[in-house]
Structure 1
Amino acid sequence: MSIRPRYRRVSALQRQFFNREGLLAVYDEELEGISERPRILNVVGVGGIGKSRLLQELRHRTPDRYRSARLDLQLPALRQQEDALAVLRTEFGAQGVKFDRFDIAYAVLWQRVHPQLQMDRKNTPFAEESEVLSKILDDAMGLPVFGTAAGLVRLTGRAIANRQRRHRIEADSTLQELDSLSNAELGHAVTYLFAEDLRQSAQEQPFVLYVDAYEAMVPAPIPGGRSFASDAWLRDLLGQLQGGLTVLASREALPWTAYDKEWDAVIRRARVEGLPMAARLDLLNQAGITEIPRQRSIAEASAGVPFYLHLAVDTHVQNPDRTEDAGTSEEIVQRFLQHVAPDEVRILELLSIARTFDLEVFRTVGRHFDLPANLLTWESLTAYSFAYPLPLGWYRLHQLMVSALQGHLSPAVKREAHAVLRAHWEGLADRMERGAEERGVARSSPLREAVYHGLRAGNLAPDEILKHADRALRMSSRQAVDGMVKDLRDHLAASADHTEAPSSVAAIRDAADCLDAESRLELGDTGAAMALTPVRETSARSVVAARLALAGANARRIAGESALAARIFEQVWEDHSGEARTSAGLCVADIRMWQGDFQGAFALAEEVYAICSPEERVIRGDLKRLMHLGHRFLMDFARAQDLLLQAEQEYRAVDAVIGLANLRTNRAELLAFTDPEAAVAEAGVALEVQRELGAQHEIGKVYTAMAIAQIRMGQLERAELSFRNANAALDRAGYRSGRARADMFRAFLLLRRGEPEAASALLRHATREFEVCQVYPSLILAIHRATELIGLADADITAAADRARPTIRPLGAAHELEQRTEHVLSMFVEVDS
């Protein structure tokens, strides 16, 4: 905290007022609605949000036809009934309000409390300001204490000439009863007569009372409003103020309905939110902080709390050359925690470690550190306005508090707290995965929190990060995994001070890159996946290294670098013996199939399937789906259908969202050759699923299947549009071989439209792309046969077919593949007779 005069901070009240138009409108509405009943506008907001400045602005804008007074409960003396009433009487009295009856009652109360003092002009409150008391004391000629209220009333008859005022005093039943009242009852009577005199004056001129910092009177809010009567006199006063408006600022909404439901009809609540960004920037600009990057930095850090902005301005005024605004966080947290019970601050410091918390998190932390973890403490903590409620019983602390509160904890305590929270979230994830409980959170989010806390506890290995991510995916949450990646990146950025070992930082970075690359691949963002996985000569023995290598190789396979991808796949399959081995085997089988070695691909797929554990249902489903694709490219559609059903069984057993979505794509692709009408319907459903996931390469494949089916149905215009959509998605994904396959079938569309030259050129282009990407030799042979059937033989295509033929190792005899290929081609081209 900076060492400087605290008085200087009052300057915030003199700076330009910004924003709050909505609150000003509410205030104007309440002013117009003043009637013969009490009315309270409760302005609510966290410490530092600008409530005091707002009250000042409201008073400044109030028309002269209203009297006004202010009661600042931050001053300890004004939390006492007698002192507060004296201040209000002085302010309103200076504006012409006659407090005849109150002055007499207050003198009686004063004499009751100070019996040793003589009642004269020197010792009696308001003796100079009160016309009634001054004349009474003048007539009394300095006599000793009169002793009774009745005596004061009798003297009034001689002291006041105005018959109406004299009669009002002499006939007042409350004044007649003062001498018989107990001290407590006398205090109530004094409040009543203050309200009565103010109400009487309000018939001629209404009033507004501004009450600031209610939380100073009730520092520990308790749900239900039970504040042990510390604010009883204030409630009693405000409940009697008719003919005016009270504007009361507090950090928590007034809980007075716990005493009487009728308060609901009296109190209107208006929340003071953080300043919007434009207002923050205007405030800083007006205060002399004009450098745009610095403005933006301060404005974002402030979270819309004006107190933070004014601290930054004060820092700038004292030292304009200072580039940072550090040192304000401690002042912020002191502002927030002002009036918070001391025994609650410690548990708040520990809760600041948790990004969100509920009753169970609170109890877990409290019990571990031997702090109060009972329900009463919980209700008190969550009643503070800086504890923001979230749905279903969850809370978070105001972001400006978090870092400052954590700064109160030693590194050892922070690590231990993170370890406790990691264990809590992992236990919750276990129970939710078994379906044992519903906690109002997504099933996968506890796993993200476990990773977050495990990183900061320093007890989470990189391979454990991947395990948690895999569990989240099995729970159908790519969003949770993306959140883990963000948390990992943030942790790495915070570790730039080299407090962690370089090897540890590198391992965590690899884990982040791995998860990020895998996510990008699912979205079809090949370029980003490749950027995250540069080719490097390192061992793939660890799980993280193996999966990172596989992600990079898959990205390169999609981009057309099949030879490099195959080499990486083979290396991981040979070197790695851990959990990623089955994934490596799947990838090797996959690339072998695309390169035409169907026999080797199927043999390896069966081998990998045999070593899969029963829990690896997703890999098992992927292997079945791979073999389905192999049979589909071999034109054996019946066998392909059987394997697709087997893959679906594996996916559904664990509700594998990605696997089931890709299976939708494959079903549309298969139906395009077996039932085109059903294919179009299935493609429509698949598009909805893949768009929700954002998988561009899958979207391109679905549109291609739809176009193929539409060609077969004779819907050529629709097919053309589908091909355009397919190409756009495939190009976005950088999926060269997928785009070439779409071009191959679009060439058949051009043939149907009578454009043989354009079709021939497109077939040559598709053939070149297949060769460059080193994939689909069986499709090169199909293209060659199609050109023969339609009389468009091409030397380049013939040469490519000659090169492709030896690379194909089909299942069964080669002539059987040729017969099936001829059958499929007959669906699209007419044989030239």
Structure 2
Amino acid sequence: MPIGPRYRRVSALQRQFFDRENALSAYDEALFRLPPSDGPHLLNIVGVGGIGKSRLLQELRNRTGEAYRTAHLDLQIPALRQQEDALAVLRTDFGAQGVKFDRFDIAYAVLWQRVHPQLRMDRSSTPFAEESDVLSKILDDAMGFPVFGTAAGLVRLTDRVLTSRQRKQRIKNDPTLRDLDNLSNAELGYAVSYLLAEELREASRERPFVLFVDAYEALVPAPLPGGKSFGADAWLRDLLGQLQGGLTVVASREPLQWAAYDKDWAAVIRQVSVEGLPMAARLDLLSAAGIAEGGRQRSIAEASAGVPFYLHLAIDTYHQNPARLETTITSEHIVQRFLQHVPPDEVRILELLSVARTFDFEAFRALGRAFNLPAHLLTWESLTAYSFAYPLAQGRYRLHQLMVAALQSHLSPAVRRAVHARLRAYWEEAVDRSGGLPERGGVSRSAPLREAVYHGLHAEEITAEQIHACADRGMAMGGRQAVDGIVRDLRDYLAARPDADGSLREAADCLEAESLLALGNARAVIDLAPEVEREAGTAVSARLALAAANARRIAGESRTAARIFQQVWDEQSGPVRISAGFCLADIRMWQGDFAAAFDLAVSVYEMCGTEHRGIRADVTRLLHLGHRFLLDFDAAGELLTEAEEEYRHTADPFGSANIRTNRAELLAFTDPEGAVAEAAAALEVQRELGAQHEIGKAYTAMAMAQTRLGAYERAASSFLSAYAALDRAGYRSGRARADMYRAFLLLRQGHRGECLALLRRAVAEFEACDVYPSLVLAIQRAALRLGADDPELAAAATRARAGLHLLLPLDALERRTDAMLSLFLGAGA
């Protein structure tokens, strides 16, 4: 921390006040509802260190107005944490505003002399001798003779010096004053508090009061989670519990847990959380202090995480040395502000926990054991009771953003790496404890895998292959979001380390490409991996090559994609080879080589064990699609049911969603009414996943069914929606297939010329993409049924027949094709 006067850093109290509308509103409401005398009323302002609670109390006091008496008790001042000193401050503040404390002054004088028996009671040594009308008259009347502070003696002297009969009687008959001499010192202190509260209550009938108590945690530095604090704050609770006719505002870092002593406190205390300043308020605060608009102002505002202490620190630093603003705000300022009043042993474990983005009790225990620090439940409950520890789902916590960076600066690089290594092991163990089972939504159980990768990276002990293994495990648990999170973490890690191992960058590219493919964003994958004609040496390189090839398949570059699939299939082994085999079977199918595709698909299926159920489901779904394109709808339906069952075991949300799309496509041929409903259901789940190519296919299936049902306007609208999604995905062959079926709609609407033009365009696209020769044959037969003997279509059909390798005789496929065309062309064609 730079050397300099701490006084210079208190200027925040003099700066313009911003925001805090919720706290101001709660305070105004509490004042408005304040009865003249109806028990205690507490407003608890809660927030982390540096969030601006003291400044807020000052603003509240400034806004209170002359209709109320106010006093301020700052527990950051050590002397004011003692009962007698705190009571003296309150008596002075309220006394200066017209409150008469006759009985309190007498009782306090008794307490004072009980605690200081060596002092004689005179104007120089008696508290409030000048301010108190009663004591000043007693001491004047004594005329220099010693006065001993017994309650009975002072009451007798009061009777002699006061002229007001009413005041005499009230003092003389007060039961508390009569009992003072018989009380112990501790009991005498509580009696003094009682009399202060009583005289405040009486004065509040004409003018209510507001008491502001700042920095409660200074009085109780280490509260237990249950709220009890071994009596350190007993005198304060006793005093505030007796205050009637006014409002007490207590600022604390943690919520007051006084209901642990008496459940009635729960109805008395209203808590108001003070959160970080919104961005607009941060910028306004910096502008008002002279830090102008621009990149510097924005960077300071963002770095502050909304904590005004940071902003004021930046302002003070700027005024002292504008040129060194970014380099002179040290983490030590933040540490001291956040961890003030935190015991040293807890600070050490917090330093270790700052390395974790999220932690739970078992992670806390793992670090405590590894570094020989307290790791028992009491310490855990104490740590998580602090307001800078934010609770998350599933019993996890995170520390405040500013505090994290500050605490980590206390750890050496070697210790940080060791902590990361232990946390990686912990999160991997957490996945094992869960059994690796998928959970609804897929995120909660796969999230530890993301944490394991994050800590493995920062421990500098994880390889690209291990990262992919974690990502695959996350996908098997239905955790696509966790995989996307791993990619983000990799990108952040690499951005901070340009010279990192190139295999890590390749791993990030591969995982991102696979995620983009699941969304159907082929163009983004091509941009990410423009060089596909390269050696796929490692498993990670091979996976990236497969992703790049799949993107090109979607974009219509089927020959390039097939060549890469074949290369990976020939050169790799293990899971990557299985994936390449599936991709190769897939593209062979769409190129018309059904025989080779089916044989390869069966071989791939047999290579898959139970750990590859996702690939098995994909293969079964591919076989379904092959039979559907061969127009064998019964076999296609059976395989679709088998694939759905396989996907159910994997809990893959994309696979299950794609099954719905495929079912809608199948029903478009067999049950058009059911297809419309199924397509609507498919669209709902595909929109949640954001898979544009599947959205386009679902709209195409819906439009096909609506065409058969005679709902032509709805079908036209569905085709337009299909085009929009397919174009966003860059799915050329999918768009051409939609063109083919939209041509049938145009024919039904009486647009024969437009129908034939669209059929010719679809054939051109199929040939350009080197896919769907069976559909090329179907289009040529449709044109013949319409009486259009088109030479170009005839030539395309000849080329298609040469490329087809079927599982059935060609004439059998032609008969099935004619039956299918009758469904869509209508009775007149």
Measured in 1, the distance between the counterparts of 2:66 and 2:75 equals 25
Q: Which residue of 2 aligns with 1:644?
A: 640
TM-score where L is the length of structure 1: 0.96
Segment of structure 1 superposing worse, 144-153 or 384-393:
144-153
For 1:362, give the aligned amino acid: F
Q: Residue 125 of structure 2 is aligned with which of 123, 126, 132?
A: 123
Q: Which residue of 1 aligns with 2:343?
A: 341
Q: Which residue of 2 aligns with 1:17?
A: 17
Measured in 2, the distance between the counterparts of 1:143 and 1:85 equals 28
Indicate conservation of the 8 Å contact 1:221/1:380, yes or no.
yes
- Secondary structure of 1:828's counterpart equals helix
For 2:25, give the aligned amino acid: A
Measured in 1, the distance between the counterparts of 2:79 and 2:805 equals 95
Indicate conservation of the 8 Å contact 2:283/2:298, yes or no.
yes
What per-residue deviation string (whole Å, max 9, x for no partner) do you get for residues 566-623 of structure 1?
1211111122123210000111111112112222212222222222223211111212
Measured in 1, the distance between the counterparts of 2:588 and 2:762 equals 20
Q: Which residue of 1 aligns with 2:36?
A: 35
Measured in 1, the distance between the counterparts of 2:673 and 2:482 equals 38
Q: Displacement of 1:641 after TM fit?
A: 2.5
Q: Which residue of 2 aligns with 1:479?
A: 481
- Secondary structure of 2:497's counterpart equals helix
Indicate conservation of the 8 Å contact 1:541/1:578, yes or no.
no
- Secondary structure of 1:69's counterpart equals strand
Q: Displacement of 1:326 after TM fit?
A: 5.5
Q: Which residue of 2 aligns with 1:94?
A: 96
Distance 1:776 1:140, change over 3 A: same
Q: Which residue of 2 aligns with 1:550?
A: 546
Q: Residue 824 of structure 1 is aligned with which of 800, 805, 820?
A: 820
For 1:344, give the aligned amino acid: E
Q: Which residue of 2 aligns with 1:318?
A: 320
Indicate conservation of the 8 Å contact 2:593/2:804, yes or no.
yes
Distance 1:794 1:112, change over 3 A: same
What per-residue deviation string (whole Å, max 9, x for no partner) do you get for residues 553-576 of structure 1?
000110111121112111111221
For 1:543, give the aligned amino acid: A
For 2:387, give the aligned amino acid: S
Measured in 2, the distance between the counterparts of 1:674 and 1:108 equals 100
Q: Any stretches of 5+ residues in structure 1 without a counterpart?
A: none
Q: Displacement of 1:200 after TM fit?
A: 2.4
Q: Which residue of 1 aligns with 2:381?
A: 379
Indicate conservation of the 8 Å contact 1:431/1:437, yes or no.
no
For 1:53, give the aligned amino acid: R
Matches within 5 A, 1:80-479: 80-146=82-148, 148-322=150-324, 324=326, 327-433=329-435, 442-479=444-481
Q: Identity rate of aligned residues, in percent?
A: 68
Q: Residue 58 of structure 2 is aligned with which of 51, 56, 59?
A: 56
Indicate conservation of the 8 Å contact 1:41/1:267, yes or no.
yes
Measured in 2, the distance between the counterparts of 1:127 and 1:266 equals 36
- Secondary structure of 2:272's counterpart equals strand
Q: Displacement of 1:438 after TM fit?
A: 12
Indicate conservation of the 8 Å contact 1:597/1:807, yes or no.
yes
What per-residue deviation string (whole Å, max 9, x for no partner) do you get for residues 76-130 of structure 1?
0110111111111112222222222222211211111222222211121221222
Q: Displacement of 1:639 after TM fit?
A: 2.7
Q: Displacement of 1:801 after TM fit?
A: 2.2
Q: Displacement of 1:755 after TM fit?
A: 0.9
Segment of structure 1 superposing worse, 49-58 or 362-371:
362-371
Measured in 2, the distance between the counterparts of 1:112 and 1:121 equals 17
What per-residue deviation string (whole Å, max 9, x for no partner) do you get for residues 208-237 of structure 1?
111100000000121222101111111111
- Secondary structure of 2:575's counterpart equals coil
Q: Residue 682 of structure 2 is aligned with which of 682, 686, 691?
A: 686
What per-residue deviation string (whole Å, max 9, x for no partner) do you get for residues 24-66 of structure 1?
1221222231431222111111111111011101111111121
Q: Displacement of 1:145 after TM fit?
A: 4.1
TM-score where L is the length of structure 2: 0.96
Indicate conservation of the 8 Å contact 2:555/2:732, yes or no.
yes
For 1:11, give the aligned amino acid: S
Measured in 1, the distance between the counterparts of 2:16 and 2:120 equals 50
Distance 1:817 1:109, change over 3 A: same
Q: Residue 716 of structure 1 is aligned with which of 709, 712, 728?
A: 712
Matches within 5 A, 1:564-713: 564-713=560-709
Q: Displacement of 1:368 after TM fit?
A: 1.8
Segment of structure 1 superposing worse, 798-807 or 482-491:
798-807
What per-residue deviation string (whole Å, max 9, x for no partner) do you get for residues 504-556 of structure 1?
2x211111111111111111111111112222454323221111110000001
Q: Any stretches of 5+ residues in structure 2 without a counterpart?
A: none
Indicate conservation of the 8 Å contact 1:791/1:832, yes or no.
no
RMSD, aligned α-carbons: 2.0
What per-residue deviation string (whole Å, max 9, x for no partner) do you get for residues 259-310 of structure 1?
1122223222211122122211111111112223222222222222111111
Measured in 2, the distance between the counterparts of 1:90 and 1:594 equals 91
What per-residue deviation string (whole Å, max 9, x for no partner) do you get for residues 697-744 of structure 1?
111111111222222222222221221111111111110000001101
Q: Displacement of 1:143 after TM fit?
A: 1.4
Matches within 5 A, 1:730-741: 730-741=726-737
Q: Which residue of 2 aligns with 1:525?
A: 521
- Secondary structure of 2:146's counterpart equals coil
Measured in 2, the distance between the counterparts of 1:696 and 1:726 equals 9
Measured in 1, the distance between the counterparts of 2:395 and 2:648 equals 33
- Secondary structure of 1:209's counterpart equals strand
Measured in 1, the distance between the counterparts of 2:532 and 2:748 equals 48
For 1:261, give the aligned amino acid: K
- Secondary structure of 1:580's counterpart equals helix
